[in-house]
Amino acid sequence: MSAPKIKAPRGTFDVLGEQASARTALESRARGILEPAGYERIETPAFESTELFARGVGASSDIVRKEMFSFQDAGGRELTLRPEGTAPICRAYVEHGMHKRRQPVKLWYLSSFFRHERAQAGRHRQFWQVGAEAFGSEDPALDAESIVLASTLLSTLGVRQVRLRLSSLGSPESRGAYRESLTAYLHANEGSLSEEVRERIDLNPLRAFDSEHPGTRAVMQAAPRLLDHLDEQDASHFTEVRSLLEAAGVSYEVDPTLVRGLDYYTRTVFEFTSDALGAQSGVGGGGRYDRLVEELGGPPTPGIGWAAGVERILLAGEVPAAAAAPVELFVALEDGSPAARAEAFGLLAQARGAGLSAQMDLVGRALKRQLSHADSIGARYVAIVGDSRTVLKDMQQRQEEPMAIDAVVHAVLRGQHAL
């Protein structure tokens, strides 16, 4: 009786074949756009202290309330698989004293994240995000640059029917008075709101704009809008972001109901959706988080960034699979004698050491099948290693030449240059 099979956990998936090479292509496009703009790659741990997200992402967010994979390690420490990247990168910014570097400090990532959500197309429990965060400047030009880079990435990756929605949440001070009037409005209409929204009225009344519940949506139609209550500085910051986006030729819609699902945002917020996706139309999003570094124990430092879901980009985009690496040399064995096999294995190592892409038969195929395999993988040259001689076959020219085994790598390199 064979052992029972084990499947990947619900909401997770394996990445292989074309999907794997599309991701390689996506990563190199992202690098090609972000690094010339001054963004450096960062990787943070897959798990962090639970407190980082409780404090960083916020107690009223769905993520902290119900979506975190949290556990206790053997030492009793409370840990969580990272549900998002901004709080960990702020933690790293503080931990590595990056405020002492020349600002803005710009960082980008392509990492996996974990949320305990109901799995469906485009919504997974382990998913990947490509993202970018920039610290140390309040300048609206940094907001605009960040949004332009996200937009460029999505269009380079062929994401179809993209819409960019933009708003401003103002600063916490200017939000105070508005928050009171919204809270009062929500309490006055409590009877029509969903239970979830009612529970959050005092914790985060703005989240009511995000609700799908029909009664809540109807109430929110007539709710006071934060965008109409920004103070002068926040309003002019937003105007400047808008005019810079226009200067860069990026089209957007102002959406005063855009609030985003994480609690750390201040001022600019934005979301990219693709109508080519089904229910999960959010392909990327982000905004400013001018208080977050300070809330995580660092010096007051403004920040702005975004993240886009890799699976959703691949669903709505046209990311060409990265071309498979060409095989420059295939080492074949004429017969299976141990001496010839050892020599052939030595040749394989020598070829790779010289920078050639080289492969060898590792399953004991007969010579004829080795040659047809070499042909099928598009090998440029095949070295047939026997006990008494070695022959180098040029698969393109259909020519062959006997030579000393030590001369093979040189001949292949020379042949490549001649091409």
Interface with ligand HAM includes 127 (CB under 6 A)?
Answer: yes
Instruction: Using the minimum distance from each CB to ligand HAM, give the nearer residue, 86 or 390.
Output: 86
How far from the centroid of its chain's Cα atoms is residue 167's Cα? 23
Q: Is 321 helix (H, G, I), strand (E, B) or coil?
A: coil
Residue 247: count of CB within 10 angstroms of its CB: 11
Two structure tokens written together for 223: 């709710």
Element (H, E) at 221: helix 214-221
Among 23, 55, 115, 267, binds ligand HAM (CB under 6 A): 115
Stretch that binds ligand HAM, among 35-43, 123-131, 370-378, 391-399 (CB under 6 A): 123-131
Among 48, 84, 234, 263, binds ligand HAM (CB under 6 A): 84
Interface with ligand HAM includes 86 (CB under 6 A)?
Answer: yes
Interface with ligand HAM includes 170 (CB under 6 A)?
Answer: no
Q: Which of 130, 126, 87, 93 is nearest to 108 (CA)?
A: 130
Among 58, 88, 282, 302, binds ligand HAM (CB under 6 A): 282
Interface with ligand HAM includes 136 (CB under 6 A)?
Answer: no
- The CA distance from 403 to 165, in Å, is 66
Q: What is the CA radius of gyration of the chain?
A: 28
Stretch that binds ligand HAM, among 69-77, 159-167, 196-204, 309-317 (CB under 6 A): 309-317
Phi, psi of 271 (to 5 degrees): -145, 135
Stretch that binds ligand HAM, among 126-134, 220-228, 235-243, 245-253 (CB under 6 A): 126-134
Stretch that binds ligand HAM, among 213-221, 304-312, 348-356, 406-414 (CB under 6 A): 304-312
Instruction: Using the minimum distance from each CB to ligand HAM, give the nearer residue, 40 or 401.
Output: 40
**DSSP, res 46:** S
Interface with ligand HAM includes 117 (CB under 6 A)?
Answer: yes
- The CA distance from 178 to 185, in Å, is 11
Two structure tokens written together for 179: 């928050």
**DSSP, res 213:** -
Two structure tokens written together for 385: 């290693």
Min separation Cβ 72 and ligand HAM, Å: 24
**DSSP, res 322:** P
Stretch that binds ligand HAM, among 116-124, 216-224, 366-374, 392-400 (CB under 6 A): 116-124
Interface with ligand HAM includes 284 (CB under 6 A)?
Answer: yes
Residues 232-261 that bind ligand HAM (CB under 6 A): 261
DSSP sequence for 59-123: TTSHIIIII--EEE-TT--EEEE-S-SHHHHHHHHHHTTGGGSSSPEEEEEEEEEE-----BTTB
Among 309, 374, 392, 409, binds ligand HAM (CB under 6 A): 309
Min separation Cβ 393 and ligand HAM, Å: 48
Classify the C-alpha dihedral 152-306-249-34 as positive or negative: negative
Instruction: Count the residues of the shown chain that bind ligand HAM, applying the rule CB under 6 A.
Output: 27
Interface with ligand HAM includes 88 (CB under 6 A)?
Answer: no
Q: Give the residue nearest to ligand HAM (CB).
A: 309
- The CA distance from 149 to 167, in Å, is 18
**DSSP, res 52:** H
Instruction: Using the minimum distance from each CB to ligand HAM, give the nearer residue, 234 or 343.
Output: 234
Among 129, 174, 216, 268, binds ligand HAM (CB under 6 A): 129
Q: Which of 348, 367, 360, 365 is nearest to 408 (CA)?
A: 348
Instruction: Using the minimum distance from each CB to ligand HAM, give the nearer residue, 223 or 307.
Output: 307
- The CA distance from 292 to 56, in Å, is 7
> What residue ranges bind ligand HAM (CB under 6 A)?
84-86, 115, 117, 122-124, 127, 129, 131, 133, 261-262, 282-287, 305-309, 311-312
